[in-house]
Amino acid sequence: QVQLLESGGGSVQAGGSLRLTCAASGRTYLSYCMAWFRQAAGKEREGIAIIDRSGTASYVDSLKGRFTISQDNAKNTLYLEMNNLKPEDTAMYYCASDRSSLRCTMAAANAYGMEYWGKGTLVTIST
């Protein structure tokens, strides 16, 4: 099993920045692929950024240029740098991981989900 713990959420004004952190523990060698999802109130969960163990990353088109996913494999930690935040970025943000390279694309992660999930961290953006 892999345990994932998110942190770094909070309340910021529009235009501000936040960095989310996801600490992985347990059988971390099972986490070939890691991703960030978010779910706003009343909306479906969406995958927003994904990265494989080699560092290849991809993003949902609408967030390219504002969000950056990165990882520190030595520390088993995943990050999401979020800049120029907008009220529509308000959501619960989840870290997820999967052992399968086949699911390490945004399309596959959104279609099939991922194997391990954190409990989320709340991001609230005010005007």
Structure tokens at 63: 């967030």
Contacts of 102 (CB under 8 A, 6+ apart): 108
Residue-level pLDDT at 81: 98
Pairwise CA distance, residues 63 & 38, whole Å: 12
Residue-level pLDDT at 103: 82
Pairwise CA distance, residues 59 & 21, whole Å: 17
10-13/67-72 β-pairing = unpaired
pLDDT band at 87 (very low <50, low <70, confident <90, very high): very high
Q: Comparing 65 with 22, which gets the higher pLDDT?
A: 22
pLDDT band at 101 (very low <50, low <70, confident <90, very high): confident
**Paired strand residues for 77:** 23, 72
pLDDT of 64 above 90: no
Structure tokens at 91: 């959501």
| Residues across the chain | 127
